[in-house]
Amino acid sequence: MSKFSASDAAFSGFRLVRENLKTIAVWAAVMTVLSIISNVLAIQFFGPKLELLLGYISDNANPDPEEVARRAADLAPLMPWLLSYSLIVNGVIFAALNRLVLRHHDSRLAYLRLGKEELRQAAVWLLTSLVLMATLFVGSAVSGFLGAMGGATGAFLALLGLVGSFCAMIYLAIRLSFAPAVTFETGKVTLFKSLPETKGLFWSLLGAYLLAAVMSVIVVLLIWTIVSAIGLIASGDLSATGKMLRADTSSLKAYFTPAGIVQALFSGVISILTTLIVFGPAPTIYRELKGGAPDTPTTGGW
C-alpha cells in the first residue's frame, strides 16, 4: 500500500462535489424530499410533543437532563420509526458514496439504489454505532465505579476513565472507518476487517478526518449566514430570520411557513454536503491506498 496526503485527502469531499455537481444535486433533492416527508409524518402524529422537546432544548443554554429525558420519553413511539428511517437513508447514501468513489462507471440513477448493497451499508453503520456506544458505555461505567471511591483520587480517576473511554471511541471510529468501503468492495458485511487496512495510519487518518470535520462546520456556518442575510434583507425582521434555523414543529400549518420551507430546503443540501465532506475522505483514501483510481475520468460540472 502507498501512503497518502492527509491534507489532500481532507478536501476530497469538496472535489467530489465539484466534479459531480449534477449527481450531488440529485442527492440533495432526494434528501430534501425524504426529509420533508419524514418531518410531515412526525409532526402529524407527534407535533406538539416534538415542539415541546425541541423548544426546551433551544431555549435553554443548560437544559436539565432529567427534563429532557422526561420530554423525550413522550416521543418513545417515534424512536423505532426514526431508527428505521436513519438506517435506510444512511444505507442508501453511503452505498451511493462508495459507488461514486469505488465504482464510478456505475452511474445509473445517480448512483442511488435500494438493494442488498444498501442493506449491507445500513448493517455496517448499525454495528459500528453499537460498538462505539458500547465502548463509551463501558468506559462511563468504569469511570462511575472509580468515582465512587470518593475524594480527590476518585474524582481524578473518574476523569481519567471518561477521557480514556472517549479516546478509545475515537480510536475505534478511525480504525473502523474503512468498514463501509471494505463491505462495499467485498460484498460482505465486514467490520473488523477494516483494522488491518488502517494499521499504521491512525494519525494520518485522524488529521484528515479532523480537517474535514472543521471544513464541514465552516461550510454549514457559511450557508446559514447567507440564508440569514437573505432572510434579514427580505423581511427586515431579525427574529423571523432566526426561526429559519429551526422550523416550528407544533403543527403542519406552523411548519409550512416561509421559514419552515427554507429550513427544510437547506437542511437537505447541508445534509448531503456535510456527508460528502466528512465521510468522502474514507473511501477516497481506501481507493488510493489500494492503488485504484476512478473508473472513468470526471468531466466536472453539469
Average the pLDDT over each of 2-11, 60-69, 167-176, 272-281 and give the range with the smallest value: 60-69
CB atoms inside a 10 Å sphere around CB 171: 13
Render pLDDT for 75-130 as a digit per residue (tens, 0 to 9): 788 888 888 889 999 999 999 999 999 999 998 999 999 999 999 999 999 999 99
Tens digit of each residue's pLDDT (9 = 90 or more) over 184-202: 999 999 988 899 999 989 9
What is the reported pLDDT for 273? Answer: 92
The rounded mean pLDDT for the chain is 83
Domain boundaries, the chain: 6-110+198-289
Tell me which of 179 and 153 has the higher pLDDT: 179
Whole-number pLDDT of residue 228:
73
- Residue type at position 106: D
Q: Please give the Cα distance from 88 to 42 (Å, whole number).
A: 17
The amino acid occupying position 117 is: E
Q: What does DSSP assign to residue 115?
A: S
For residue 192, give the C-alpha cell.
473488523
pLDDT, position 105: 92
| Alpha-carbon separation of residue 183 from 47, 116, 222 (angstroms) | 38, 11, 34
Res 298: pLDDT: 38
Residues found in the chain: 302
* Nearest of 257, 269, 227 to residue 245 by alpha carbon: 227
pTM of the model: 0.84
Contact 290, 19 (CB under 8 A): no
Which has the closest alpha carbon to 260: 273, 243, 274, 247? 247
> Do 28 and 110 touch, CB atoms closer than 8 A?
no
Which residue type, as a one-letter code, is found at position 27? W
Please give the grid coordinates belonging to residue 178: 474503512
